[in-house]
Amino acid sequence: MTLPNDTAQNPANATSPFLAIHNLVKKFGENTVLDDVSLSLDRGQTMAIIGPSAAGKSVLLKCMAGVYGANQGSVLIEGKNIAENDASNDASWTDRVGMLFQQNALFDSLPIWQNVCFQLIENGSLSRKQAKERAVELLGLVGLDADSATLRPADLSGGMQKRVGIARAIANNPEILLLDNPTAGLDPVLSNHIENMIETIAKKHKTTVITVTNDMEIARNRYDFLTMMHEGRVYWSGKRDDISDAHNEHLTQMLKGSSQGPISMRTRNRGQHLVA
């Protein structure tokens, strides 16, 4: 991980981190949900984003995926702004990124195999026959059997739908994998299996992985870097080993607070935000 640096002035700079977010601001009407967020990761690095409810975690992932445009700031991959992605010259951003949405966002009317390989069918990479075979292979990776391929999302449990969403996110071997709560609602054994799989994929393909999670244990044990968010801002970001007990305690309190109603954030001012 590197600090946001002079790539803001010179995006083509050879020292650009693989993925960089510079001073991102996202508003919905008058509501500022991301406020001056800057982060960066090199290829193959992994990061967990953690924070209380409504901190802006999902919105940040969606900005990285290009689902939402930013009001200010930029998301850069290899120094190029994704908002200026020119599909005629570059591999399209959507071909480079895979995303699991919090609510899975599966197409109810399509069988599971078409959901899993939707993009690969749409962009002509695979025939329908190849797509079905690939879907079965991907479903196996997330612990679902081949019979599930022909079912519809409504035929599956919430946890199974989550796994289909993960299979879809990794279907095109993305360079960047964005996962919004990949293990929420899964039992510990399955959760462990999915996290192992994410780790294996990241290592094997040098995939840059950013995961939103509410599980501090997973965040601290499974990911290279941690970013703590609160009220749209980065409260702390750095290597997992550098997190201090004080930050850990504060975050635990914030996470508890999010299930019990809002709590004040005593250190919340720009000067005290730490970004490693």
Ligand X SMILES: Nc1ncnc2c1ncn2[C@@H]1O[C@H](COP(=O)(O)OP(=O)(O)OP(=O)(O)O)[C@@H](O)[C@H]1O
Q: Which residues bind ligand X (CB under 6 A)?
A: 28, 33, 51, 53-59, 102
Closest contact distance (angstroms) between CB of 212 and ligand X is 6
Nearer to ligand X, 16 or 181 (CB): 181
CA-closest candidate to residue 141, choices 179, 170, 109, 118: 170
**CB neighbour list of residue 59: distance below 8 Å, 6 or more residues apart:** 26, 33, 34, 68
Closest contact distance (angstroms) between CB of 184 and ligand X is 9
C-alpha count within 13 angstroms, C-beta hemisphere, residue 35: 17
**Using an 8 Å Cβ cutoff, are 265 and 271 in contact?**
no
Nearer to ligand X, 148 or 227 (CB): 227
Closest contact distance (angstroms) between CB of 33 and ligand X is 4
Closest contact distance (angstroms) between CB of 58 and ligand X is 3
Nearer to ligand X, 175 or 215 (CB): 215
CA-closest candidate to residue 58, choices 184, 168, 170: 184
Give the Å distances, CA to CA, from 243 to 37, 45, 227, 228, 247.
19, 17, 10, 10, 6
Nearer to ligand X, 28 or 107 (CB): 28
Q: Which residues on adjacent β-strands are paired with residue 178?
A: 99, 210
Closest contact distance (angstroms) between CB of 151 and ligand X is 27
Can you read off the two tokens belonging to residue 42? 């090199």
Nearer to ligand X, 136 or 228 (CB): 228
